[in-house]
Structure 1
Amino acid sequence: MASVRELKKDINFLASELVTEAYVKQLVKEDVDNDKIAEVMVKAIEFRNDLVARANHPDAKDNPKMVKSYYQNLRKDMMEKFLSISKDTNAL
């Protein structure tokens, strides 16, 4: 299993990619609604904050199997949320 440090690096990277994607979309397309772009950026930052908080406080610290399962679910949630926000950005 990857370390929590690596997981948090991945979370930060994905969140920064979402913000960058929204910012580039705002610069490239002239007909984009700035309020919707700001909403996507806020979602990306909330995504980052929520996942880092979850990574820092796993459930059942005494049971290694439950901790492993917890982090596997966290990674799955991370990818689902990232794809969802990315689709929102592409729809703008």
Structure 2
Amino acid sequence: MASRRKLKKDIDFLTFEVISDCYNYIYLHPGNQDKVMEIVKETVANRNNLVARANHPDGKDNPKLVKAHYKAVFTDLINNTDTSFTKLSELIKA
């Protein structure tokens, strides 16, 4: 990542995209509200964890460790977002 600021903006953007899609689904299909709210809670918890990890990198003295840390945070962001969208897609298919 180019900067910590951009990483945190990416975290917020992808998190709010998932939450936005969840609320759109709730608006169109009010019957599955409990399952969708679990996805939202999980997504918010993942967001908070990722922001905390972005704010406190491991091995501040070694640039290679810092780079690896931020790469791991970004990879976890992509994986968590994909998992949340997959769960929402399964609800849509049902």
TM-score between the two structures when normalised by the length of structure 1 = 0.93
Question: Percent identity between the aligned chains?
Answer: 41
- 1:36 is matched with 35
After superposition, the CA RMSD in angstroms is 1.0
User: What secondary structure is seen at the aligned counterpart in 1 of 2:77?
Assistant: helix
1:6-46 CA distance string (max 9 Å, x none):
0000000011001001000111224x411101101101111
Structure 1: gaps spanning 5 or more residues: none
Aligned mates of 2:2, 2:47 — CA distance in 1 = 18
Which structure carries more helix by proportion? Answer: 2
State how many pairs are aligned: 91
Structure 1's consecutive aligned runs of 4 or more residues displaced over 4 angstroms after TM superposition are none
Aligned mates of 2:4, 2:70 — CA distance in 1 = 9
- 1:66 is matched with 65
Question: Is residue 2:78 matched to residue 1:79?
Answer: yes
Aligned mates of 2:9, 2:57 — CA distance in 1 = 17
TM-score between the two structures when normalised by the length of structure 2 = 0.91
